[in-house]
Structure 1
Amino acid sequence: MKLHHLEALVSVADAGSIRAAARLLQLSQAAVTKALRELESEQQLALFVRTAGGVSFTDAGHRLLKHARLVIGQMERASEELAKLRGDQAGKLTIAVTPLVMVTFLAETVSLFRKQMPSIQLEIFEGLTAVALPRLREGALDFGILALAVALTDQEFDIEPLFGYEPRVMARRGHPSAGKHSLHDLLDQNWAVNFTPASYESLMQRMFWQHGAKIAPARLHGAHSYSLMLELVQYCDMLTWAPGPLLLTESMRDWAQALTLDEQFETRHVSVISLRNAMRSQAAKCFIDCLCKVIRTRSRSASEANRTLFDRLELLL
């Protein structure tokens, strides 16, 4: 199994077809096809199903793809480290950021990072579970700044807590359920939430089951971006379960409210999460250092906005 075989595999997965993968790799279709055939022949397994609409993966193909992404990701990081030793500063940092950090600390962090590493290209994904977790496991992210509903193990991930917060049930102001005081009175409402099949039980336990509340799956609507969640809550009368400090931010403070419920929810932690024992690039270390510096500086600020924010955060740095 050679590196160009794995690059062809990943490119087909990302591009959706051999023709598009060839453009991505700047190779001929024949070269990509040859690499894929060699890979299938070597492994003695069918990895793809070729259709008129493109290429789909068999179970074996999906399993190999996961490992291929990890290998290529580590090779890219190794190349970046060696380039730095040669004096080359170019590179790329791919991360996922949870919405709470996105609307509170991200802009300052990126500005500070760009001053220190101006030649590094950033690629930033929303750090919601359904978006971030698969990419994290595949090695497509250098790291994530996340608050995941699914339990993560120390054997699989390195987890560095930053701060904790209290989750709240939220609705638009004037929502018909605004006066309700129990989760059990909200089970007939529609909810905008974010989960994957793997995180579903963990999310339900945190939100409903621990309080003896059972909700029909048809009431749960997947919102896989922060902006989409806001739209569904503000304009479709859906409820959501989100970090309480979001109510202080520009995106929610003028129209959203937290419901005052008898049930309490356990504190959740926002952490820097990366694959266990993955090599962390200098760019990754720098970005994390910048984020920690911004959080610490804001936590010591005398401004009313920062004091109010950090009254609702449990600093874990």
Structure 2
Amino acid sequence: MSVIWTLNLRHLQALIKVAEVQSVSAAADAANLTQPAITKAIAGIERKLSCKLFERMSDGMQPTESATILIRRVTRALDYISNNKVSLTQVRALIELAEAGSYKLAQVRTGLAASALHRSVNDLSAILGYNLVKKVGNRIILSGQGKKYYSRCKLAKTELETGALEVQGHQGRWAGVIRVGAMPLSRAKLLPAAVSAFHKMHPEVRVSIMEGSRAELYDHLCNGDLDFLLGALRSEAEAGPVEQELLFYDKPVIVVRKNHPLAGKKNLTEADYAQYPWIVSGVGTPIRKLWAGLFSEGNLPQTPVECGSIMTIRELLLEGDFLSLVSKDQLRAELELDWVSILDVPGLSEQRPIGITTRDDWFPSPIQTDFIHLLRGSLDK
């Protein structure tokens, strides 16, 4: 179980107040707690996170750097939770129910009684003033408002976990995980180079890579399951509530198998490449839009296969007369082995922006910042 579930939001709020007024007695009055209760609460947080939060000085309680780091994350978590009556027990219950799909499975995941989880979710609904879940047949699903609050709870959890890791890192004990959502192009060269360099810099920190299209990864980013996405950027109108950082422009090429009828021919035109079947990614993706731009209106060729997997695309290219529009980096090894060829199409200038996508309110930790710097730096190699 994560250490954050052993914490108490009221105690964390008291921590913020003590740092603000630099006095346990003044904080006790403001938080409606006794001085011994606040002293015990702070000692409990220090014990659980293995850190010292205050220096007892003659002029009051001076927060340590660990306290400052933790308070920044706690404040962000409380903003997501947005109600000072909510407890972490209730936050955890909602998250576990949403991810397990039933109280029974949530009990198996957590070891907590299903009745206790049910009570916590009901109490949370009462505090918020709306139903978080609804029953559909034999299933329990989140309501529309429940989905939104679940996302806020996930982000609060992420902030608290990051805070605990930052406190640990401040003491020279970095740990945790960098969680990357990798779209197809990023997996070819850019991401592996950054991961390799990051492992040398922080061997104690894991890197978890979730592969998929932007559509598959986007909700995981918004819920805090991923730190950032790496791959093709979207237009401002399509992007959503995110920040996008351009790293470079990729210029896709048209590829075929080595002995394809078009391989080796010069100055190919639309009339040449429109007569063959194509493998393209799904509708709405940047590469699909670039592909459509290769043809005059009403002249789109057959697309018998929609696919974003470069491994599948490669095998299909080798087995037939298919064409595909891909990045050279994605088929670098196949090109070096002379398995596939790039068609000579003069004037082919379509390009797509590749970069980093983060939540618009994301505040990266030092190790996350290190990873981002390595991504930028890998462009020069």
Interval containing the TM-score (normalised by the shorter chain): 0.7 to 0.9
What residue in structure 2 maps to residue 7 of structure 1?
Answer: 92
Matches within 5 A, 1:98-113: 98-113=183-198
Q: Which runs of 5+ in 1 are unaligned?
A: 299-317
Q: Deviations over 1:6-25 (max 9, x none)?
A: 43333334334433333433
Query: In the aligned structure 2, how far is the partner of 1:292 from the partner of 1:152?
Result: 22
Q: Per the alignment, do residues 22 and 220 of structure 1 end up closer, same or farther by CA in structure 2, a change over 3 Å counting?
A: farther
Q: Deviations over 1:121-145 (max 9, x none)?
A: 2211225323333322333211122
Report the Cα offset of residue 203 of structure 1.
5.5
Q: Per the alignment, do residues 257 and 82 of structure 1 end up closer, same or farther by CA in structure 2, a change over 3 Å counting?
A: same
Report the Cα offset of residue 86 of structure 1.
4.2
What residue in structure 2 maps to residue 277 of structure 1?
Answer: 361
The one-letter amino acid paired with 1:277 is D
Query: In the aligned structure 2, how far is the partner of 1:252 from the partner of 1:4?
Result: 56
Query: Identity of paired residues, percent?
Result: 21
Report the Cα offset of residue 166 of structure 1.
0.3
Matches within 5 A, 1:70-109: 70-109=155-194
Matches within 5 A, 1:224-239: 225-235=309-319, 238-239=322-323
Report the Cα offset of residue 204 of structure 1.
4.8
Report the Cα offset of residue 165 of structure 1.
1.7
Higher helix share: 2
Q: Does the residue aligned with 2:169 lie in a helix, a strand or coil?
A: helix
Query: In the aligned structure 1, how far is the partner of 2:320 from the partner of 2:133?
Result: 43
1:49 to 135, 153, 157: 135
Q: Which runs of 5+ in 2 are unaligned?
A: 1-85
Q: Per the alignment, do residues 189 and 168 of structure 1 end up closer, same or farther by CA in structure 2, a change over 3 Å counting?
A: same
1:244 to 328, 333, 338: 328
Q: Per the alignment, do residues 50 and 166 of structure 1 end up closer, same or farther by CA in structure 2, a change over 3 Å counting?
A: same
What residue in structure 2 maps to residue 67 of structure 1?
Answer: 152
Query: In the aligned structure 2, how far is the partner of 1:129 from the partner of 1:163?
Result: 18
| Aligned-residue RMSD, C-alpha | 3.6
Q: Per the alignment, do residues 30 and 192 of structure 1 end up closer, same or farther by CA in structure 2, a change over 3 Å counting?
A: farther
Report the Cα offset of residue 81 of structure 1.
1.9
2:274 to 182, 186, 198: 186
Greater CA radius of gyration, 1 or 2? 2
TM-score by length of 1: 0.73
Q: Per the alignment, do residues 283 and 87 of structure 1 end up closer, same or farther by CA in structure 2, a change over 3 Å counting?
A: same
Higher RCO (C-alpha under 8 Å, 6+ residues apart)? 1
2:121 to 21, 36, 48: 36
What residue in structure 2 maps to residue 292 of structure 1?
Answer: 376
2:244 to 159, 170, 179: 159
Q: Deviations over 1:40-95 (max 9, x none)?
A: 4444235343544x544443333333333333323322332223234432212101
Report the Cα offset of residue 252 of structure 1.
8.1
TM-score by length of 2: 0.62
